[in-house]
Amino acid sequence: MQSVTRSTPLRAIPRAVVLTCAFAGGAGFTSSAVANDNASQFTSQAQVVEVKGERSDDDRLTLGLGAKSLPGSVTTVTAEELATLDIGRDISNMFRRVPGVVANNIDQGDTGNGFRMRGFATQGTHGADTAIYIDGVPQNIPSSQGGAGHGPAFLEWMTGDMVDTFDVIKGPVSALFGDQNRAGAVAIRTREGGAATPSSAAVTVESYGGRRGSLVLSNDFGGIRSLVVADRYSLDGFRHGATLDRNNLFWKLSTTIGDGVYSLRATYYKSDYAGAGYLSLPAMEAGLVDPHDTMFNLPGFGDAHRKTLVFNRSPGSGEAGWFATAYAEDFTRSRAIQTSATLHTYGYDERDIFGARGGNTWTFGSAGVLTVGLEARKDKGNAFRLQYRNRQPTANYVNNQDLDLLTYGTFIQGQYRILPTLKLHGGARYDRFEYDLINRKLPAASTDYKASVVTPKYGAIWSVSPDVELFANIAQGFRSPAAEQISTSGSLGPLGALGGRSNPGIDPSRVRSHDIGFNAQPFEGLSMSGAFYYIQNDDEIINTAPDVFVASGQTTRRGIELDLRYHFSSALNTYLSYGRILRAQLDNPAPGTGARLSVPEHTWKAGVQYRTAMGPGRLSLSGDVYVTAGNPYYMGAPLYERDMPTFVQYDMKATYDLGKYQGSLFATLHPHKFASDIAYGTAGGLLVTTVPQATAGATLRYFF
């Protein structure tokens, strides 16, 4: 990438209204960064771009900028930013600098990507409660058994070479995202071939047997842009018995026909892995357990296969026009979790997934914009959890269901400038669920399910001055009920047993989110933003009795987020962000249970990036620190509350570009012994998945 980006000054925000993200099949969510005059001096930029809009040459709205013009907190990360990060084995690291976000792999193989923000998604949910889309394709998997819970997102099929830009939208403020959009949404756009992406080959070696080989082939064949990314990664692991062997293949063809951009993307992903499980923190502190050990001396295991085909169409210039996405996927995933020295719980998902979305965007001069669209998705296949003994299947199932899940709906969203400095935002979604659930474990619990939900959004953006912008919104988001909540499976047992209970009257869980915040640039180079949020969930789905799930109970989440970025020069910039959860708890917990939800009370992120010419080449340096603290858990009988140990991580990367060659050295440090960002509270104490106190690696890349 021969470009440098910088955040757009607020004074450059168009006086025109900037709309709703017409996120249509991957055409949108372009960078809101502008080229620096010294762009040719550097190959990458080390900053997150956090803005609300951008002036185009004719002061019109530009496709994709709607995300950053929503009345809420939105952060955009570009390919240039990703180049400064050590993504390594875990694609979740691409969220490392996004304010208020806790993202990580749980270090048990390719088992999902933990993504937490605004007090949602406690441990084990793997991205649920955040709607994640890639090129217009929803990534959350309903009623997963081979991953974790309902709605996890599995992003391991991606590598950093595939990502162009992505937006993190805090809160359910956008009507363009459906199921799981309670904490917010993530919209990722993949790269295209041609002049924008150089071809390259790279080799990486890392601590603990990490080995990676990657190839990027970018071409333009008579107006058809082609991008192929092939990646092979393997890891022996810090923990005994933890291994990973992963293959990724990506091919995207893009072309411009008339006033539209068309693309066809095919991906293939295969992974085999073993997980070392969790260890007792008190036992390690007492010297009774080695942090390298495997839980119960019995590794977990699993594999995953995904084959995906995606078609996209979007307007080629400006915002106005029609958009469309269609996709098909063959999805298979398994994971076996150790539960004793002889037993595993083996979860398996096998799905055929089909879907489409489309619509149109109208712009009204410089006054407003409107997007209307619809989407549908069908998941059909099997999901079960089975007990294994001595690595062999038994006849005892936790659950076993044939899933035929159809969801469809429509959305509308727009903005209009009623005053020179005031823009109003509004939108709404209607979503319908039609499920056919066959319960093989308890056939009497088999049932159909039909329900719908409407989620409105309102907001306003006020430009107090050319350098200060205020926003506020009230929005609703939702989460569909899981198949296990609709058709329950009782206790462990064989298939075809008697009994069973269905809950076909259960409603989707909705949240009401309130935000107020600001964006400011008090002087050149300094940008500031902040937000306060208040979220109520009046119908959290809970288990009120054995096999009885109802929409009842209430949870409340409140918090603040602050972000500060200063660009000293084109060579040096820094950032600092802080997220504080003031309240995240069950308002009416059951007797004898804990009220506080297990999410970090404090999240700090800070870093510095520096670039300069050195000898015949260019040197780029980056350093980041990430801290979480005040994460509650419960132990003992009766239960009492404690906080997990503070987690601190330092990331450092140095890159030197010399002609067609690029070399990188990177390291990660965890100063606290038995460090873990993933932990579970139990009656006997805290269980953690330990990580090494220091890791390092090197990459050599050749561009051609």
**Chain segment 557-573, per-residue pLDDT in tens:** 999 999 999 999 989 99
Rounded to two decimals, the pTM is: 0.89
Distance linking the first and last C-alpha atoms of the chain: 13
Q: Round the average pLDDT of the chain to a whole number and report it.
A: 86
**Averaged pLDDT, 256-274:** 96
Say what the pLDDT of residue 309 is: 98
Write out pLDDT tens, residues 267-309.
Answer: 999 999 999 999 999 999 999 999 999 999 999 999 999 999 9
Across residues 453-470, what is the average pLDDT?
A: 95
Q: Find, among 361, 334, 364, the residue nearest to 347 by Cα.
A: 334
Torsions phi, psi for 368 (to 5 deg) = -170, 180
**Whether residue 49 has pLDDT greater than 50:** no
Take residue 69 and report the two structure tokens written for it. Answer: 């013009």
**pLDDT at 582 > cutoff 80:** yes
What burial class does residue 347 get, using C-beta atoms within 10 Å of its C-beta: 0-12 exposed, 13-18 middle, 19+ buried?
A: buried
Using CB atoms within 10 A of its CB, is residue 683 exposed (0-12), middle (13-18) or buried (19+)? exposed
Q: Are 246 and 293 in contact (CB under 8 A)?
A: no
Arithmetic mean of pLDDT, 210-231 = 96
pLDDT band at 683 (very low <50, low <70, confident <90, very high): confident
Q: Which residue do the tokens 């980041």 mark? A: 624
Nearest to 299 by CA among 229, 352, 350, 240: 240
Q: Which residues make beta-bridge pairs with 614?
A: 617
Q: Assess whether pLDDT exceeds 80 at residue 64.
A: no
Lowest mean pLDDT among 56-65, 68-77, 606-615: 56-65
Structure confidence at residue 109 (pLDDT): 78
Asked if 46 and 611 touch (Cβ cutoff 8 Å), the reply is yes
Q: What number of other Cβ atoms are within 10 A of residue 652's Cβ?
A: 17
Other CB atoms within 10 A of residue 441 CB? 25
Alpha-carbon distance of 528 to 514, in angstroms, equals 20
Structure-block tokens of residue 2: 């021969």
Residue 104 banded pLDDT, cuts 50, 70, 90: confident
**Res. 387: pLDDT tops 60:** yes
All structural domains of the chain? 5-703 (2.40.170.20)
Q: Which two tokens stand for residue 280?
A: 């007792």
Any idea which residue has 């979740």 for tokens?
A: 92
3-state secondary structure at position 195: coil
Tell me how far apart the alpha carbons of residues 146 and 335 are, in angstroms, rounded to a whole number.
5
CA distance 237 to 105: 14
Any idea which of 239-253, 405-419, 495-509, 676-690 has the lowest mean pLDDT?
A: 676-690
Q: Round the CA-based radius of gyration of the chain to a whole number and report it.
A: 24
- What pLDDT does 518 receive? 96
pLDDT at residue 676 in the model: 86
Q: Which two tokens stand for residue 199?
A: 């071809």
Closest CA to 596 of 536, 542, 555: 555
3-state secondary structure at position 274 = strand
Give just the sign of the alpha carbon dihedral 493, 498, 503, 508. Answer: positive
Between β-strands 130-134 and 184-190, what pairing exists: parallel, antiparallel or unpaired?
parallel
**Residue pair 153/140 in contact by the 8 Å Cβ criterion:** yes
Q: How far apart are CA 265 and CA 327, in angstroms?
A: 9
Q: Residue 83, class by beta-carbon neighbours within 10 Å (0-12 exposed, 13-18 middle, 19+ buried)?
A: buried
Structure tokens that stand for 604 in this block = 């700090």
Q: Per-residue pLDDT averaged across 237-260, rounded? A: 95
Q: Of all residues in the chain, what percent are helix, strand and coil, respectively (each to 5)?
A: 5, 55, 35
d(C-alpha 314, C-alpha 310), whole Å: 13
Please state the separation of Cα 121 from the chain's center in Å: 11
pLDDT at 7 over 60: no
Nearest to 402 by CA among 434, 446, 345: 446
How would you classify residue 40: left for phi > 0, otherwise alpha for psi between -120 and 50, otherwise beta? alpha
Q: What is the pLDDT of residue 127?
A: 64
Report helix, strand or coil for 173: coil
pLDDT of residue 538: 73
Please say if the pLDDT value at position 58 is more than 60. Answer: no
DSSP 38-94: TGGG-S-----B--S----TTS---TTTTGGGSSS-EEEEEHHHHTTS--TT-GGGG
Q: How far apart are CA 318 and CA 316, in angstroms?
A: 7
**Residue 13 clears pLDDT 90, i.e. is over it:** no
Calculate ∠ Cα 180-315-13, nearest 5°. 75
Across 129-223, where does the E strand assignment appear?
130-134, 137-138, 163-170, 184-190, 200-206, 210-221
Joined together, the tokens standing for residue 391 give 């690595």
Question: DSSP string of 347-411?
Answer: EEEEEEEEEEEEEEEEEETTTEEEEEEEEEEEEEEEEEEEEEETTEEEEEEEEEEEEEEEEEEEE
Distance CA 124, CA 411 (A): 30
The residues with which 312 forms a beta bridge, in sequence order, are 263, 325
Please report the beta strands in 316-342, taking only residues with DSSP state E, as ranges in sequence order.
Answer: 321-338
Q: What whole-number distance in Å separates Cα of residue 400 and Cα of residue 656?
A: 53
pLDDT band at 516 (very low <50, low <70, confident <90, very high): very high
At residue 149, the pLDDT reads: 78
- Interatomic CA distance for residues 216 and 163, integer angstroms: 12
**Mean pLDDT score, 587-611:** 88
Q: Whole-angstrom Cα distance, residue 609 to residue 47? A: 8
